[in-house]
Amino acid sequence: MQSLGMNTPTDRQLAPPGGWHPATASRIPPIQLHGAGLRPRLLAWVLGLFVKGDPPGIFLVLMRHWRLFRAWLSFAARLMPFGKLDRRDTELVILRVGWNCRCRYEWGQHVAIGLRVGLTPEQIARVTQGADTPGWEPRHAALLRATDELHHARILSADTWQNLTAHYDDKKLLELCLLIGHYEMLAGMLNSLGLPLDASAETALASAPIHHLGAMEDRA
């Protein structure tokens, strides 16, 4: 059995059916901060402080459309990390979206974030199995089912909506729908660009103690 903290080679990491969409070089490259204007360099510095490392590539790509980037950043921040949903709930949703969309960039970034906000390795590995896997509390099962329904059918069923209302008020329900849709949109963009996962996120994903847990679930 793999020991916790062991780096897992890419070909042995968790992957969705059909594998991840290819991501080797972004069709629109990230801006180069060296020689860039003061505004992007200052924002990149602030984002680096927030993520405790280099600013993620998605930000550096979107900075090529500054007016759009500025509006998007304000909106996105109100969903994550400053939304009304519990941070662990938010990360479960984003991870499931990344898995459903076969978007390794989204999945890899949010494995590390999920662990940081309190998700267990077992929960993250269980995300790959979906809402019907034993072990979920009812709230989390409802979240994952909602994420799957919006991905596949673009509408929440009456039963799923009823289950969600047992845990969330109207504001949180609105936020949940926008959260799922927003990260579906980002996954589509990231897959289309082919943006590779950032080096720091690659390291964190390889060392995350989740990959052997997923294999154990598959054998159960």
Q: Is residue 18 part of a domain?
A: no
Residues 48 and 148 in one domain: no
Query: What pLDDT score was predicted for residue 49?
Result: 65
189 Rama class: left (phi>0) / alpha (psi -120 to 50) / beta: alpha
Instruction: Say if residue 46 is in the same domain as residue 94.
Output: no
pLDDT above 70: percentage of residues in the chain: 92
> Are 44 and 127 contained in the same domain?
no
Q: Are residues 43 and 126 in the same domain?
A: no
Does residue 73 belong to any structural domain of this protein? yes
Same domain? For 198 and 90 the reply is yes
Do 94 and 73 fall into the same domain?
no
* pLDDT over 50 at 153, yes or no: yes
Looking at 42, 77, 112, the residue that finishes a domain is 77
Same domain? 63 vs 157: no
Note whether residue 93 is domain-resident: yes
pLDDT beyond 90 at 210: yes
pLDDT digits 0-9 by tens, 113-152:
999 999 999 999 999 999 999 999 999 999 999 999 999 9
Same domain, 114 and 203: yes
Tokens found for residue 52: 């405790």
Spatial separation of the C-alpha atoms in residues 183 and 189, rounded to whole Å: 10
The alpha carbon of 212 is separated from its chain's Cα centroid by a whole number of angstroms, namely 20
Per the CB < 8 A criterion, the answer to whether 84 and 75 are in contact is: no
Dump pLDDT digits (tens) for 60-94: 999 999 999 999 999 999 999 999 999 999 999 99
Q: What confidence category does residue 192 fall into, taking pLDDT thresholds of 50, 70 and 90?
A: very high
Interatomic CA distance for residues 79 and 176, integer angstroms: 9
Q: Are 57 and 30 in contact (CB under 8 A)?
A: yes
Lowest-pLDDT range of 14-28, 39-53, 107-121, 182-196: 39-53
Count: domains in the chain: 2
Whether residues 57 and 96 fall in one domain: no
Residue 129 covered by a domain: yes
User: For all residues of the chain together, what is the average pLDDT?
Assistant: 91
Q: Is pLDDT of 24 > 60?
A: yes
- Both 197 and 164 in a single domain? yes
**pLDDT at residue 104 in the model:** 98
Residues 41 and 121 in one domain: no
In sequence order, which ranges of the chain are alpha helices (DSSP H)? 38-51, 57-62, 66-77, 87-100, 104-117, 121-127, 138-152, 158-165, 170-193, 199-207, 211-219
pLDDT at 128: 97
Higher pLDDT, 217 or 112: 112
Q: Which pTM does this prediction carry?
A: 0.92
Q: Is the pLDDT of residue 220 over 50?
A: no
What is the pLDDT confidence band of residue 215, given thresholds at 50, 70 and 90?
low
Domain of 112, CATH number, reads 1.20.1290.10
- pLDDT of the residue at 53: 67
- Output the pLDDT for position 80: 95
Domain boundary among 11, 42, 77: 77
pLDDT in tens, 35-56: 777 777 777 777 776 666 678 8
Does residue 16 sit within a domain? no
- Quote the domain boundaries for residue 69: 26-77
Same domain, 88 and 73: no
Q: Is residue 45 part of a domain?
A: yes
On the question of pLDDT at 166 being above 90, the answer is: yes
Distance CA 152, CA 13 (A): 25
Domain-located, residue 2 = no
Q: Find tokens 């969330």 and name the residue.
A: 168
Single out the residue in 35, 57, 77 at which a domain terminates.
77
Looking at the domain assignment, is residue 1 inside a domain? no
- Please give the Cα distance from 140 to 137 (Å, whole number): 6
